[in-house]
Amino acid sequence: MLSLLGRIAERYAINPGELRASWQWRNHSPHTPGAAGPRPDAEILLNQAGRRALAQLCRTDPQNLAKALPAWNRAPEIFGTHDQDPQPLGLWRTGSTVHAPVAYACLSCTARRTGQLATAMRYRHGWQRVCPRHRQWALDAGDSHGLQHLDLRHCPDVISAQRRWTAVARRARRGGVAPGAVFALARAVVCQWWDQALEWRKERIWPARLHQLAGGDAGRQFWWWRAVAREAATSPELVTVASALLDPEMRGLVRADGGGERVRPIPPDGKFCRELGNRMGRSWLGEEAAANSSPSLLAWMGAVLRQHRGVSVPGWDRGPWHVRHEDQPVSVTAQLRRLAARADGTISWRASVPSGERTWIQHKLRETTELLATLDLHDTGHLAAVTQHLIDTLHQSIHGLDQAIVAIASAAHVGGVPLDHLSAWTHTPSPELQHDISEHRETLEADGW
Q: Which of 336, 368, 402 is the last residue of a domain?
A: 336
**398 and 325, same domain (yes or no):** no
**379 and 328, same domain (yes or no):** no
**178 and 327, same domain (yes or no):** yes
**188 and 305, same domain (yes or no):** yes
**212 and 317, same domain (yes or no):** yes
Residue 384: inside a domain, yes or no?
yes
**428 and 307, same domain (yes or no):** no
Residue 22: inside a domain, yes or no?
yes
Q: Measured between alpha carbons, how far is 159 from 147 in angstroms, rounded to an integer? A: 19
Residue 276: inside a domain, yes or no?
no
Query: Torsion angle, CA of 17/23/28/32, rounded to 10 degrees?
Result: -40
Tens-digit pLDDT profile for residues 364-422: 888 888 888 887 777 777 778 878 888 888 888 888 888 889 988 888 877 667 788 88
Higher-confidence residue: 39 or 244? 244
Domain count, the chain: 3
**85 and 135, same domain (yes or no):** no
- Max mean pLDDT among 9-13, 103-107, 228-232, 338-342 falls in 228-232
Residue 380: inside a domain, yes or no?
yes
**199 and 155, same domain (yes or no):** yes
Distances, alpha carbon 436 to alpha carbons 239, 356, 404, 418, in Å: 35, 19, 11, 15
Distances, alpha carbon 124 to alpha carbons 32, 75, 257, 258, in Å: 20, 20, 38, 38
Residue 103 has pLDDT above 60, yes or no: yes
Residue 111: inside a domain, yes or no?
no
Residue 427: inside a domain, yes or no?
yes
**362 and 314, same domain (yes or no):** no
Residue 114: inside a domain, yes or no?
no
Q: Is the dihedral of CA 374, 378, 381, 386 positive or negative?
A: positive
**304 and 427, same domain (yes or no):** no
Q: Which of 99, 120, 143 is the last residue of a domain?
A: 99
Note the pLDDT of residue 416: 67
The H-assigned helical ranges of 258-354 are 271-279, 295-309, 332-340, 349-352
Residue 426 has pLDDT above 90, yes or no: no
Higher-confidence residue: 144 or 287? 144
Q: Which of 304, 336, 368 is the last residue of a domain?
A: 336
Stated as kind and residue range, the H or E segment containing 19 is helix 16-20
The whole-chain average pLDDT of the chain stands at 86
Residues linked to residue 24 through DSSP beta bridges, in sequence order? 89
**135 and 93, same domain (yes or no):** no
Residue 242: inside a domain, yes or no?
yes
Query: Torsion angle, CA of 315/319/320/325, rounded to 10 degrees?
Result: -50
**Please, what is the Cα angle at 440 between 435 and 441, to 5 degrees?**
100
Note the pLDDT of residue 176: 95
**161 and 256, same domain (yes or no):** yes
Tens-digit pLDDT profile for residues 124-175: 999 999 999 999 999 999 888 889 999 999 999 999 999 999 999 999 999 9
Note the pLDDT of residue 427: 87
| Domain that residue 17 falls in | 2-99
Minimum mean pLDDT among 58-67, 173-182, 322-331, 349-358: which range?
349-358
